[in-house]
Amino acid sequence: MKDKTEILDTFDNPNTERDYWIKHIAPEFTSLCPVTGQPDFATITLEYIPDKICVELKSYKFYLNSYRNDGIYFESVTNNILDDLVKVTEPRKMIVTAEFNVRGGISSIVKVEYSKQK
């Protein structure tokens, strides 16, 4: 899977003095199961305290859309999204939660967190 971070645009945090939370809820995430090739669906929730830069919303949508035809596991995709967004925005804190639709009668949630070392 190629590097997707270049899809992500950013803009300057309008208020760097305050710690504050930004949250984007994206209920239209879809990728493919790496074993069966069948589509998976999830709601991806991104929450972060920006430091110097924020992620631009439209580019973030394109970033999520870029997984559409990738075969990737639940646990990997959630860690990947966090890694990419941490790399690009260097936030003070960041949480990515992925809620996957029912498969085999079971729904799954993966939640990963990052905190900048002080």
54 is catalytic: no
Give me 98's structure tokens: 């992925």
Rounded least distance, CB 87 to a copy of itself, Å: 14
Q: Are 85 and 46 in contact (CB under 8 A)?
A: yes
Catalytic residue among 3, 12, 40, 51: 40
The contact set with a copy of itself (CB under 8 A) reads: 11, 13-15, 18-28, 30, 38-39, 41, 54, 57-58, 60-61, 65, 68-69, 73-76, 78-79, 101-114
Residue 36 carries which side chain, given as an amino acid letter? T
40 is catalytic: yes
Between the alpha carbon of residue 90 and those of residues 15, 27, 36, 52, 68, the distances in Å are: 15, 24, 35, 8, 25
> Considering 9, 19, 33, 84, which one is annotated as catalytic?
33
Considering the complex, state which of residue 7 and residue 30 has its C-beta at the smaller distance from a copy of itself: 30
Q: Cβ distance 64 to 29 under 8 Å?
A: yes
Active site members: 33, 40
